[in-house]
Amino acid sequence: MSLPPLVEPAAELTQDEVRRYSRHLIIPDVGMTGQKRLKNAKVLVIGAGGLGSPALLYLAAAGVGTIGLVEFDEVDESNLQRQVIHGQSDIGRPKAESARESIAEVNPLVHVVVHHERLDNDNVMRIFEGYDLIVDGTDNFATRYLVNDAAYFLKIPYVWGSIYRFDGQASVFAPTLGDDLPCYRCLYPEPPPPGMVPSCAEGGVLGVLCASVGSVQVTEAIKLLTGIGEPLAGQLMIYDALEMEYRKLNVRKDPNCALCGEHPTVTGLIDYETFCGAVSEEASEAAAGSTISVTTLSHMLKERENGERDFVLVDVREPNEYEINRIPGSVLIPKGEFLNGNALGELPGVDSGKQIVLHCKTGVRSAEALAVVKGAGYADAVHVGGGVVAWVDQIDPSQPAY
């Protein structure tokens, strides 16, 4: 459905702006008025990562007058495979500063406002206020629900995107612009069970997928700001890069939505970390008192080598991760094998006297597997907090990190 433009036109374009945006100006649907609307617009981008990188660059190139950026992280070498707003010389620098400089190179005529802080309940309303539109480039469910709820309370529409491996999604959530338009909670009333959906850091993402979905987000932002075309409000775009297939599904407003429904139960910001949960309740209970450090594991491995201790160290990551780096002496049994019960047949018997020690990349998946193992009767089983990331960082920095 068509929506009215979010922004009034600026008074004028300078000669420099006319030259710069000439290819927009000769598009009848955009023209001088549309470009003036972009100049007058204030768009906030959450994150300068995979989706935020192309979004920021193309919003700047398009001539959005004020671009806000919420980002607290630093540039890591593993970011460069997809976060094209940063470069080799930016490693170790704040992403916000790196992004600001890249935007200035693309278009010095736009004004960049940096919010160098982690988005949370205490600052989200202050940061969002005054912006016309939000482009959400977050990569975790807790922040997505926070963005959705705060945007709804402030009556700010936002463009959402999601990426994982070869798949991308995008939509526009603007329930305050139309009685029948949904919010993010209408599409996803509840977050997925903890540990069910791996993050990009755990599951990976094709770098160029970020550009595909991020450019769709900016296209939707331009349409909303200028009032042209039909935005993805009430629709979900699904992109399969392997099949090179785009699909659109209708998303209806849920009359029972906890936020924008007829009888809302979410009337203020909530505890989003608890709502989404990093790990399941069972995993949290299993890990309580059964988590060891990589330093402890290092001592245990030396004792095992000397014949002073006997245990089985199990890596629950995926085979392709095991090829990147590994803790010496570990055996690979992916987490899925624990969840379907097959892994239990590969472990020594409960009465064997051998302790089971589990680890993954960071400790999330191993905690889920630990709950299964303890439920099967291995009462003394433990998992390694921080996983192989902590091992490489603290014990064996000669191995590559990812």
How many whole angstroms separate alpha carbon 313 and alpha carbon 157? 49
Q: Is residue 22 within 8 Å of residue 242, measured between CB atoms?
A: no
Tokens representing 43 are 């768009």
Q: Which amino acid is at 122?
A: D
Instruction: Please identify which of the residues 183, 210, 257, 360 carries the catalytic annotation.
Output: 360
Residue 200 annotated to the active site? yes
Closest CA to 201 of 387, 19, 374: 387
Q: Across the strands, what pairs with 312?
A: 356
Alpha carbon 72 to its chain centroid, in Å, reads 14
Where residue 47 falls (left for φ over 0; alpha for ψ -120 to 50; beta otherwise) is: left
Residue 260 annotated to the active site? no
φ and ψ at 12, to 5 degrees? -160, 165
How many whole angstroms separate alpha carbon 31 and alpha carbon 15? 15
C-alpha distances out from residue 340 to 101, 333, 337, 354, Å:
49, 12, 5, 22
Helix (H) or strand (E) holding 133: strand 133-136
H helix runs in 154-233, sequence order: 184-187, 200-203, 207-226
Helix (H) or strand (E) holding 70: strand 66-70
3-state DSSP percent of the chain in helix, strand and coil, to 5:
40, 15, 45
Instruction: Please identify which of the residues 183, 186, 200, 276 carries the catalytic annotation.
Output: 200
Tokens representing 258 are 């906890």
Alpha-carbon torsion 329, 370, 385, 289, what sign?
A: negative
Q: Is residue 172 within 8 Å of residue 233, measured between CB atoms?
A: yes
- The three-class DSSP label of residue 338 is helix
Catalytic residue annotation:
200, 360
